[in-house]
């Protein structure tokens, strides 16, 4: 019998020993963050204004200022009980990385001192030659540097001062997610600001904003421990569906189980201390599935916060004797997990550019950014798909349960109607009558019509939801930086184009500004129709229709990734100085390699479980049945067949399943060996996808059938019902 330890009672084991009684948790928001008010307190006036300026404009921070900030940071961190510091970065492994150094040092005289100055703050050289680099760093240049990102504040986590940094090679190429993200944010700021200035000269800065919604599963740790697949791959490679799954929808938004609530409360507290503005928590559709969402933030900070959150989730779950599953598809037969990326643009004047305004002019501005985003998605739909490709996410996209692998944009009926009206605007200069009519009856009405724009299409991968776009196809385990970098870059490119076209009409055709904008908008709207789709994204009709429209449908990661290194993508990233061809090639390589390794590990784990757990269990139960048949023969003599018929049939079926499992595993190993010798990484990934992966289903099917027959008390893996329904 599986003996599971009783879950431990929830205890507040926070690294900071907080007491909820003393002060409401949420009021301790940002306590462990070295943010603006700490800067103000620990720095003199001049230093404070210099650093604030540097954060906003991205200007250089000189050595003297760096020393001042380092001293301030150190004193603040020591007051929070920190003993160590680390450069905290996001290498291409997808996890966050840190190497702790103690403040402790020895002075020349041998005295113990606490040392941390500008040098340590600004740059470090972690011995990081094992991080994926896609061939960028040869051994002679194996050094990688981390460099301080002052736009994301340092924080104390546990007893360590964490300094958000970028990670680049000795020769300057990006080796992390953050470097290109920051560059894309900058490119978008430049492009969007110049377009905004058509509408409002007070706009000097535009920020990308991101609000992620993180889905996850929470499973009892002891139960998970019985499953090598969950431990090694983060998902179940087998397991018969539970009789009850999510059919009743009784989990969705239901009351949160007490033990889970304990986890959530501590998680939220930790988040608040670290300045992560988490706000919403609820049960998701699948049993044991939950969601957490913050208030949106500037995109760079939001990305850091999501990466940090995933780390905190694991630690807090552990304390509560849970295992948190961030995999996109941990269980067959029920929903997988995503990470919706809500994205918008905010100006320094406090305007959300994707929210309709009060005046016709501000609505024209809204339409400009709204349609430019859609045009960008159409132009680079394949790249956007590539940005969310991973072995885990392949189980969701195209599997008829999550956004499909075909990228389309949902905008709702009302806005579709507005676009239709604008498309019919006459070419060239507009008559005063036409302009007034447009401004009053089309553009001017947008806020009203959007008020009741409540139709939400859950099957759309990229949906407009009133004041932001929601990119729903991002995987739950992904680093948001990648899709956000791509989105920022492509919208920046489109806005630059919008500016060029509008200026040309003003300068060369002598049009008035609003005439020119209406003209460019009209053409832009005409061009975006093929990416707009309001229907059921999971349907077969859409698959056919989208093909006719020329949209891509890259179902798997090896099919999707080449878009990263297409001519079009290289031009996009190079022209905006976000990533060069070499860096893109390297990333493409890293992604393919990760895909191959993930499938390799899954294949090995599946082989091991099948042979070392499932087949022996089948044989054990078969032996019990054989004993039983032998006993019946002893009692009934020749007549035994009448009593042993069912047992004999089961014995037979067990043999069949065992044989099929064994054959499947052998064939899978053979396919793997063939794939492993392929030199070309894309060919290798394709071989894993097309030749190895299909055996997963076959082997699993046989194991799951066996699970239905074998005595539950000797089944070695926790069953779906135990994992999903017993907290
Ligand atoms: P839902 O998508 O479930 O309707 P909401 O619309 O309230 O939920 O918001 C979902 C997420 O979108 C939240 O994380 C929220 O912070 C984020 N969000 C709201 N406005 C913006 C914005 N302007 N930019 C980016 N994210 C936003
Ligand atoms: Mg949402």
292-335 tens-digit pLDDT: 999 999 999 999 999 999 999 999 999 999 999 999 999 999 99
> What is the residue extent of each domain of the chain?
26-176, 186-212+340-578, 594-724
Q: Cα of 340 to ligand 2 centre, how many Å?
A: 6
Predicted confidence band of residue 451 (pLDDT cuts 50, 70, 90): low
Euclidean distance between CA atoms 438 and 427, whole angstroms: 14
d(CA 682, CA 688): 10
Q: DSSP string spanning 499-549?
A: HHHHHHHHHHS---HHHHHHHHHHHHHHHHGGGB--S-TTSHHHHHHHHHT
Residue having the nearest C-alpha atom to atom 23 of ligand 1: 344
Give the model's pLDDT for residue 484. 98
Angle ∠(675,677,683) on CA atoms, nearest 5? 50
The DSSP call for residue 171 is: T
- Residue 15 is predicted with a pLDDT of 42
Q: Please give the distance, rounded to the nearest whole angstrom, from the Cα atom of residue 342 to the centre of ligand 1.
A: 6
| Per-residue confidence band for 400, with pLDDT thresholds at 50, 70 and 90 | low
Pinpoint the alpha helices (H) of 277-401: 299-319, 360-379, 381-386
DSSP codes, 203-246: ---EEEEEEEEEEEEEEEHHHHHT-HHHHHHSS-S--PPPSSSS
For residue 534, give both structure tokens: 């309001």
CA of 160 to the centre of ligand 2 (A): 34
Mind listing the pLDDT tens digit for each residue in 78-95? 999 999 999 999 999 888
**pLDDT at residue 710 tops 80:** yes
pTM for this predicted structure: 0.94
**Which atom of ligand 1 approaches the CA of 352 most closely?**
23
Which of 305, 342, 344 should be mutated for ligand 1, with most atoms under 8 A from CB? 342
Q: Once rounded to an integer, what is the mean pLDDT over residues 676-689?
A: 98
CA-based end-to-end distance of the chain: 18
Q: Tell me the CA–centroid distance for residue 289 and ligand 2, in Å.
A: 15
Backbone angles phi, psi at 157, to 5 degrees: -120, 120
Backbone phi, then psi, for 330, in 5-degree steps?
Answer: -70, -25
Report d(CA 403, CA 567) in Å as an integer.
27
Phi and psi angles of residue 493, each rounded to the nearest 5 degrees, phi first: -60, -45
Task: Please name which of 394, 377, 452, 345 lies closest in space to residue 594, comparing C-alpha atoms.
Answer: 394
Give the ligand 1 atom nearest the CA of 456: 4
Average pLDDT over residues 188-200: 97
**Ligand nearest to the CA of residue 344, numbered in listed order:** 1
CA nearest to 268, candidates 33, 79, 12: 12
Phi, psi of 295 (to 5 degrees): -75, 140
- Report CA(468)–ligand 1 centroid distance (Å): 7
Give the distance (Å) from ligand 1 centre to CA of residue 467.
8
Q: What is the pLDDT of residues 667-682, one digit of tens each?
A: 999 999 999 999 999 9
The half-sphere exposure of 98 on its side-chain side, counting CA atoms within 13 A, is 18
Atom in ligand 1 nearest the alpha carbon of residue 213: 14
- If you measure from the C-alpha of residue 16 to the centroid of ligand 2, how many angstroms do you get, rounded to a whole number? 32
Q: Ligand 2 centroid to 459 CA: how many Å?
A: 12
**Ligand sitting nearest the alpha carbon of 355:** 1
Burial class of 397 by CB neighbour count within 10 A (0 to 12, 13 to 18, 19+): buried
CA distances from 677 to 35, 427, 530, 670, 681 (A): 52, 60, 42, 11, 10
Lowest mean pLDDT among 173-187, 190-204, 448-462: 448-462
Ligand nearest to the backbone CA of 469: 1
Looking at residue 137, what is its pLDDT?
62
Locate the ligand 1 atom nearest the alpha carbon of residue 354 and give its number: 23
Q: How far is the CA of 454 from the centre of ligand 2 (A)?
A: 13
> Over 50: is that where the pLDDT of 513 sits?
yes
Output the pLDDT for position 12: 37
Q: State the Cα–Cα distance between residues 664 and 698, nearest whole angstrom.
A: 7
In the predicted structure, residue 390 carries a pLDDT above the cut 70: yes
More confident residue, 246 or 96: 96
What is the reported pLDDT for 450? Answer: 74
DSSP letters for 551-601: -----SHHHHGGGGGSHHHHHHHHHTTS--HHHHHHHHHHHHHHHHHHHHH
CA of 104 to the centre of ligand 2 (A): 46
pLDDT confidence of residue 6: 38
The more confidently predicted of residues 417 and 500 is 500
Confidence of residue 20 (pLDDT cuts 50, 70, 90): very low
Q: How far apart are CA 496 and CA 486, in angstroms?
A: 15
* 555 vs 21, higher pLDDT: 555
In this model, does residue 22 exceed pLDDT 60?
no
- 198-212, 387-401, 711-725: range with lowest mean pLDDT: 387-401
Find the ligand nearest to 297 CA: 1
The alpha carbon dihedral of 116, 117, 121, 125 has a sign of negative
Q: Whose CA is nearest to atom 3 of ligand 1?
A: 213
Going by C-alpha positions, the residue among 394, 213, 230 that lies closest to residue 324 is 230
The chain-wide mean pLDDT, for the chain, equals: 91
3-state secondary structure of 606: helix
Nearest-CA residue for atom 11 of ligand 1: 211
DSSP state at residue 5: P
Atom 14 (ligand 1) nearest CA: 211
pLDDT of residue 29: 93
467 Cα nearest atom in ligand 1 = 23
Non-local CB neighbours of 318 within 8 Å, separated by 6+ positions: 221
User: What does each C-alpha distance from 172 to 147, 167, 184, 279, 390 come to in angstroms?
Assistant: 11, 9, 17, 38, 27
Ligand 1 centre to CA of 726 (Å) is 32
Q: Are 511 and 207 in contact (CB under 8 A)?
A: no
At residue 141, the pLDDT reads: 54
Using the CB atoms, write b or e for 630-656: b if 16+ within 10 Å.
Answer: eebeeeeeeebeeebeebbebbebbee
* CA dist list (Å): 13 to 275, 290, 547: 19, 22, 54
Lookup: tokens for 563: 């878009």
Measured from CB, residues less than 6 Å from any atom of ligand 1 are 209-211, 213, 293-296, 342-344, 352, 465, 467-468, 470
Q: How many CB atoms lie within 10 A of CB 6?
A: 8
Testing ligand 1's pocket by substitution, the residue of 277, 340, 468 carrying the most ligand atoms inside 8 A of its CB is: 468
The model's pLDDT over 575-605, given as tens digits with 9 standing for 90+, comes to 999 999 999 999 999 999 999 999 999 999 9
Ligand 1 atom closest to 342 (CA)? 26
Look at residue 8 in the predicted model and tell me its pLDDT: 40
Strand, helix or coil at 125?
Answer: coil
98-141 pLDDT per residue, tens: 888 999 988 888 888 888 999 999 988 876 667 788 777 654 45
346 Cα nearest atom in ligand 1: 23
Q: What pLDDT, on the 0 to 100 scale, is given for residue 369?
A: 98
Q: Name the residue of 210, 211, 471 whose CB sits within 8 Å of the most ligand 1 atoms, as the mutation to test its pocket.
A: 211
What is the average per-residue pLDDT within 145-169?
A: 94
Residue 7: both structure tokens together: 């879950």
The residue whose C-alpha atom lies closest to atom 24 belonging to ligand 1 is: 344
Residues shown for the chain: 727
Centroid of ligand 1 to alpha carbon of 211 (angstroms): 6
Architecture of domain 594-724: Up-down Bundle (1.20)
Atom number in ligand 1 closest to CA 293: 14
Task: Tell the CATH topology of 26-176.
Answer: Ubiquitin-like (UB roll) (3.10.20)
Q: Name the residue among 90, 54, 100, 68 with its Cα closest to residue 165.
A: 90
| Residue 401 DSSP code | S
pLDDT over threshold 80, residue 16: no
Shortest-distance atom of ligand 1 to CA 466: 6
What's the rounded Cα separation, in Å, for the pair 516 and 427? 10
Task: Report, as an integer, the average pLDDT of 396-402.
Answer: 76
Closest CA to 714 of 641, 651, 622: 622
Residue nearest to atom 6 of ligand 1 (CA): 465
């Amino acid at each position: 019998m599986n003996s599971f330890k009783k879950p431990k009672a929830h205890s507040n084991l926070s690294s900071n020993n907080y007491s909820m009684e003393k002060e409401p948790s949420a009021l301790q928001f940002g306590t462990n963050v070295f943010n603006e008010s700490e800067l103000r307190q620990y720095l003199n006036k001049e230093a404070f204004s210099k650093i604030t300026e540097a954060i906003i404009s991205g200007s250089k921070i000189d050595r003297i200022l760096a020393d001042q900030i380092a001293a301030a940071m150190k004193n603040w961190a020591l007051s929070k009980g920190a003993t160590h510091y680390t450069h905290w970065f996001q290498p291409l492994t997808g996890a966050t990385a840190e190497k702790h150094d103690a403040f402790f040092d020895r002075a020349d005289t041998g005295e113990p001192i606490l040392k941390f100055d500008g040098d340590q703050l600004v740059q470090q050289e972690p011995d990081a030659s094992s991080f994926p680099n896609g061939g960028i760093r040869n051994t002679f240049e194996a050094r990688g540097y981390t460099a301080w990102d002052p736009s994301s504040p340092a924080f104390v986590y546990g007893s360590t001062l964490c300094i958000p940094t970028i990670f680049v090679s000795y020769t300057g190429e990006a080796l992390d997610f953050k470097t290109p993200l920051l560059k894309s944010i900058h490119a978008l700021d430049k492009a969007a600001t110049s377009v905004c200035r058509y509408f409002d000269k007070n706009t000097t800065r535009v920020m990308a904003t991101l609000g992620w919604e993180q889905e996850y599963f929470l499973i009892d740790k002891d139960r998970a421990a019985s499953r090598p697949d969950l431990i090694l791959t983060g998902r179940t490679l087998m397991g018969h569906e539970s009789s009850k799954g999510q059919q009743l929808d009784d989990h969705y938004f239901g009351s949160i189980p007490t033990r889970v609530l304990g986890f959530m409360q501590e998680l939220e507290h930790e988040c608040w201390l670290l300045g992560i503005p988490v706000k919403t928590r609820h049960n998701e559709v699948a049993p044991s599935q939950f969601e957490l969402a913050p208030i949106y933030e500037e995109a760079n900070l939001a990305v850091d916060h999501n990466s940090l959150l995933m780390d905190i989730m694991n630690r807090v779950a552990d304390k509560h004797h849970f295992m948190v599953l961030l995999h996109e598809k941990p269980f067959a037969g029920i929903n997988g997990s995503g990470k919706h990326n809500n994205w918008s643009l905010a100006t320094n004047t406090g305007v959300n550019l994707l929210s309709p305004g009060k005046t016709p002019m501000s609505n024209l501005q809204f339409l400009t950014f709204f349609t430019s985003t859609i045009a960008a998605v159409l132009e680079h739909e394949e790249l956007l798909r590539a940005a969310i490709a991973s072995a885990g996410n392949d189980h969701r996209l195209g599997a008829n349960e999550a956004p499909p692998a075909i990228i389309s944009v949902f905008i709702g009926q009302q806005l579709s109607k507005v676009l239709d009206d604008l498309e019919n605007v006459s070419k060239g200069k507009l008559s005063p009558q036409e302009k007034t009519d447009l401004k009053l009856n089309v553009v001017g009405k947008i806020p009203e019509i959007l008020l009741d724009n409540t139709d939400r299409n859950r099957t759309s991968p990229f949906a407009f939801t009133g004041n932001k776009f929601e990119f729903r196809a991002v995987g739950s385990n992904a680093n948001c930086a990648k899709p956000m970098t791509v989105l920022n870059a492509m919208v920046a490119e489109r806005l630059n184009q919008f500016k060029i076209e509008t200026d040309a009409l003003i300068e060369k055709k002598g049009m008035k500004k609003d005439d020119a904008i209406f003209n460019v908008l009209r053409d832009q709207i005409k061009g975006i129709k093929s990416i707009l789709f309001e229907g059921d994204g999971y349907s077969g009709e859409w698959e056919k229709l989208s093909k006719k429209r020329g949209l891509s449908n890259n179902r798997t990661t090896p099919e999707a990734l080449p878009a990263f290194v297409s001519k079009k993508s290289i031009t996009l990233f190079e022209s905006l100085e976000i990533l060069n061809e070499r860096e893109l090639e390297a990333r493409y390589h890293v992604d393919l390699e990760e895909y191959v390794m993930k499938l390799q590990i899954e294949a090995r784990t599946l082989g091991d479980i099948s042979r070392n757990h499932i087949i022996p269990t089948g044989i054990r139960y078969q032996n019990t049945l054989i004993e039983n048949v032998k006993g019946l023969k002893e009692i009934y003599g020749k007549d035994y067949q009448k009593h042993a018929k069912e047992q004999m049939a089961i014995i037979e079926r067990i043999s069949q399943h065992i044989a099929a499992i064994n054959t499947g595993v052998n064939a899978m190993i053979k396919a793997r060996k063939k794939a492993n010798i392929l030199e070309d990484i894309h060919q290798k990934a394709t071989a894993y996808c097309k030749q190895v992966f299909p055996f997963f289903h076959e082997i699993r099917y046989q194991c799951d059938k066996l699970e239905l027959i074998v005595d539950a008390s000797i089944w070695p893996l926790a069953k779906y019902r135990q994992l999903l329904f017993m907290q």
